[in-house]
Amino acid sequence: MTLQNDRLLRAFARQPVDRTPVWLMRQAGRYLPEYRATRAVAGSFMGLATNPELACEVTLQPLRRFDLDAAILFSDILTIPDAMGLGLSFETGEGPRFARPVRNAADIARLAVPDMETELRYVMDAVRLIRRELGGKVPLIGFSGSPFTLACYMVEGGGSDNFARVKALALDDPAALHRLLDVVTESVIAYLAAQRAAGAQALMVFDTWGGMLSPHLGKGNAPYLEELAASGAEGLGVDWTVSLADARSRTGGKVAIQGNLDPSTLYASPDAIRREVRRTLDSYGHGPGHVFNLGHGLSPDMDPEHVRVLVDAVHEFSARSQP
Amino acid sequence: MTLQNDRLLRAFARQPVDRTPVWLMRQAGRYLPEYRATRAVAGSFMGLATNPELACEVTLQPLRRFDLDAAILFSDILTIPDAMGLGLSFETGEGPRFARPVRNAADIARLAVPDMETELRYVMDAVRLIRRELGGKVPLIGFSGSPFTLACYMVEGGGSDNFARVKALALDDPAALHRLLDVVTESVIAYLAAQRAAGAQALMVFDTWGGMLSPHLGKGNAPYLEELAASGAEGLGVDWTVSLADARSRTGGKVAIQGNLDPSTLYASPDAIRREVRRTLDSYGHGPGHVFNLGHGLSPDMDPEHVRVLVDAVHEFSARSQP
């Protein structure tokens, strides 16, 4: 099946494109009334994520509304620990929760890499179904949380203001944390490989919590662009606290740059949104290697019509400025 | 009255000291049982902050327990907007709330610089009383929120995940936001000058939310150390996402550096705390200009005995390493 719109893949390969490709983190989500309707049918977030037909439906919803250049698998970054037996749930307004967090070396020793085609089959089934339903219209992005981010959630049992438990573990029993990171890393590699085999055409690793580490304990993002550009990834997502011009010059053309409009821009007027889109495109400048995105995901209280203004402005302004 | 311990002031002046001075953000706070007892007497957080005798009492409590090199006024960064009539309260577990946030140009036009010796007299009375009670033992630090941080809270009406309202205002009516920043800046200057006149021997500006801005809208911290070093401040506080060695070399000896132990280190064992204190001191290296602190405040669930380990380790290791 031929891919009709390959802007995203070309941009990640740093090849010329006719318009800057654009997709948005959480483009399938609660800001869309049709998402909320499907979510109500599913009964719970995990009910939605583990049902390939419904996950496919919500993945495709934003593409029916907006001229987006990619679909992204509807799922959650915490499916791997859930498949490891930690018992994932989402309480309303509370974020993710694990019924059985891992707290010590004994808990960690019991963990094993999940089988991708049985314990995580629902993800691979969703990838296969979405690929079929997309019919080559745009590429499908698969994803995983980073090993460190998954380890944080697994040790804390959910989100955290200060990551007290995982930081105490890092200082008091670094060998145990390394074993945890090893089994999670193996799982992430297997998970992304399985998504690729099932049909995902691009893969993204979300390192939500890497930025809270000290330099001697690990890596964030904006302070570490040079190191991350050498990681082997084709592209690097950055948020709005760094300018695209800086990110581009600091990574020296070795990777594509994805980002980085502040999502709160969507609370401003359409005129301001268009102005900020243009500023973001100008900040990257001419030449290949830019994938337009937000610096963080869309929020439930955002106006879908403002999202349309953003997507259309990316194409309008970048088409003008192509050579 | 002679100051018996002037390590803090000497370090900020980048003069040699016999041991690295140490104080801790939120050293007067809920992790101390004696604080919780005084807070219960006061009835509410604002009841405590607006009562000079009780504010003095909780300011002095950590100095009775630990060998700290400075006291910091017990107060809140939001006293200025409260004095402007916004109606500050703290709901349990909810953080600060304003009854009357400012949302538009009309709200902003009604704001005026508060009178420091009437509307904020309780703060100045607390400063005078604490100075008297300290009897020259250690210097007293006064403080204010930064104009931008205060403006964020005033527009949002409290804390925020995404600062939707203030960012929309910045994009849709920048002139109104500038007027807000002007009146708040004037107030902050008057507030700090009044604290100095009342006896504060050092002044700190907390820019809690500056880091969430795009480079073209404003300033964060770690990415902007060079610019901040030219601000006229004697010292710069940094968090643990930048190393002290980096912060020191990037600011070229123009300012003292305050920081930067990750407060979550206090959840680890005493051995690990001592190791991390030593690493932090080593990261700054020899020579004057270091004020030891955390990169963020203490949390209510921290163990006072671990705080003692930290404070004592700073003095022990830095005394050894002085020439």
Residue range A154-163, pLDDT digits in tens: 999 998 888 8
Instruction: State the pLDDT at residue A320.
Output: 65
pLDDT band at B322 (very low <50, low <70, confident <90, very high): low
pLDDT band at A91 (very low <50, low <70, confident <90, very high): confident
Instruction: State the pLDDT at residue A315.
Output: 97
Q: Is A213 on the interface with B (CB under 8 A)?
A: yes
Q: Is B93 on the interface with A (CB under 8 A)?
A: no
Taking residues A303-319, report their average pLDDT. 97
Give the long-range contacts of residues B66-69, CB within 8 A, separation 24 or more: B66/B27, B66/B307, B66/B308, B66/B311, B67/B311, B67/B312, B67/B315, B68/B22, B68/B23, B68/B24, B68/B27, B68/B138, B68/B311, B69/B5, B69/B7, B69/B8, B69/B21, B69/B22, B69/B23, B69/B138
Cβ contact B242–A223 (<8 Å): yes
Token output for B211: 């880091």
Q: Min CA distance, B162 vs chain A (Å)?
A: 7
pLDDT at A144 over 50: yes
Q: Is A208 on the interface with B (CB under 8 A)?
A: no
Mean residue pLDDT of chain B comes to 94
pLDDT at B289 over 90: yes
Q: Round to whole Å and give the CA distance between A210 and A220.
A: 5
Q: Round to whole Å and give the CA distance between A35 and A29.
A: 6
Which chain B residues are closer than 8 Å to A215 by Cβ?
241-243, 246
Instruction: State the pLDDT at residue A219.
Output: 43
ipTM over 0.90? The verdict is: no
Q: Round to whole Å and give the CA distance between A314 and B211.
A: 26
pLDDT at B144 over 70: yes
The DSSP code for B173 is -
Which chain A residue has the Cα nearest residue B165? A267
The DSSP code for A119 is T
| Contact map slice: A 136-165 vs B, CB within 8 A | 161-165
Q: Which residues of A have a catalytic role annotated? A: 26, 30, 39, 76, 153
Instruction: State the pLDDT at residue B82.
Output: 97
Q: Is A262 on the interface with B (CB under 8 A)?
A: yes
Q: Round to whole Å and give the CA distance between A78 and A58.
A: 18
Neighbouring CB atoms inside 10 A of A305's CB total 10
B97 in catalytic set = no
Instruction: State the pLDDT at residue A322.
Output: 53
B191 in catalytic set = no
Taking residues B148-157, report their average pLDDT. 96
Which chain A residues are closer than 8 Å to B299 by Cβ?
161-162, 164
Token output for B295: 């990169």
Could you please report the per-residue DSSP string of B52-121? HHHHHHHHHHHHHHS--S-EE----TTHHHIIIII-EEEETTTEEEESS---SHHHHHT--PPPTTTTTH
Among A223, A241, A268, the residue with its CB nearest the CB of B211 is: A241
Cβ contact B211–A268 (<8 Å): no
Instruction: State the pLDDT at residue B221.
Output: 63
Question: What confidence tens digit (pLDDT) does each residue in A270-286 have?
Answer: 999 999 999 999 999 98
Mutation pick from A103, A261, A267, A275 vs chain B, by most beta carbons of B within 10 Å, is: A267
Strand, helix or coil for residue A144: strand
Q: Round to whole Å and give the CA distance between A204 and A202.
A: 7
Which chain B residue has the Cα nearest residue A222? B223
pLDDT at A60 over 80: yes
Taking residues B174-192, report their average pLDDT. 97
Q: How many CB pairs under 8 A join A and B?
A: 95
Which chain A residues are closer than 8 Å to B164 by Cβ?
264, 267, 299, 301
Q: What percent of chain B has pLDDT over 70?
A: 96
Could you please report the per-residue DSSP string of B175-234? HHHHHHHHHHHHHHHHHHHHHHHHT-SEEEEE-TTGGGS-TTT---SGGGHHHHHTSS-S
B278 in catalytic set = no
B229 close to B255: Cβ distance less than 8 angstroms: yes
Please state the length of chain B.
323
Neighbouring CB atoms inside 10 A of A50's CB total 21
Strands A88-91 and A95-98: antiparallel
pLDDT at A1 over 60: yes
A155 close to A169: Cβ distance less than 8 angstroms: yes
Which chain B residues are closer than 8 Å to A306 by Cβ?
none
Q: Is B223 on the interface with A (CB under 8 A)?
A: yes
Mutation pick from A104, A162, A309, A310 vs chain B, by most beta carbons of B within 10 Å, is: A162
B39 in catalytic set = yes
**Between A215 and A138, where is the model more confident?**
A138
Among A263, A268, A269, the residue with its CB nearest the CB of B162 is: A263
**Between A292 and B230, where is the model more confident?**
A292
Q: Worst-scoring range by mean pLDDT, A90-104, B27-41, B127-141?
A: A90-104
Strands (E), chain A: 71-72, 88-91, 95-98, 140-145, 202-206, 235-237, 256-261, 290-294
What torsion do the CA atoms of A212, A216, A222, A227 make, to the nearest 10 degrees?
-140
Taking residues A214-226, report their average pLDDT. 68
B147 close to B184: Cβ distance less than 8 angstroms: yes
Cβ contact B215–A163 (<8 Å): no
Q: Is B227 on the interface with A (CB under 8 A)?
A: no
Token output for B75: 């107060």
Which chain A residue has the Cα nearest residue B299? A162
Neighbouring CB atoms inside 10 A of B269's CB total 14
Q: Is A215 on the interface with B (CB under 8 A)?
A: yes
pLDDT band at B222 (very low <50, low <70, confident <90, very high): low
Q: Round to whole Å and give the CA distance between B155 and B177.
A: 9
Cβ contact A162–B264 (<8 Å): yes
Amino acid making up residue A85: G
Q: Worst-scoring range by mean pLDDT, A50-64, A106-120, A237-251, B110-124?
A: A237-251
Q: Round to whole Å and give the CA distance between B60 and B79.
A: 20
Taking residues A37-41, report their average pLDDT. 97
**Between B219 and A246, where is the model more confident?**
A246
Which chain B residue has the Cα nearest residue A160? B264
Q: Worst-scoring range by mean pLDDT, A175-189, A195-209, A211-225?
A: A211-225
Q: Round to whole Å and give the CA distance between B114 and B119.
A: 6
Termini Cα distance of chain B? 30
The DSSP code for B267 is G
What's the predicted TM-score (pTM) here? 0.89
Cβ contact B301–A171 (<8 Å): no
B76 in catalytic set = yes
Instruction: State the pLDDT at residue B219.
Output: 43
Cβ contact A167–B265 (<8 Å): yes
pLDDT band at A222 (very low <50, low <70, confident <90, very high): low
B112 close to B184: Cβ distance less than 8 angstroms: no
Which chain A residues are closer than 8 Å to B213 by Cβ?
241
pLDDT band at B225 (very low <50, low <70, confident <90, very high): confident
Q: Min CA distance, A170 vs chain B (Å)?
A: 9
Taking residues B31-48, report their average pLDDT. 96
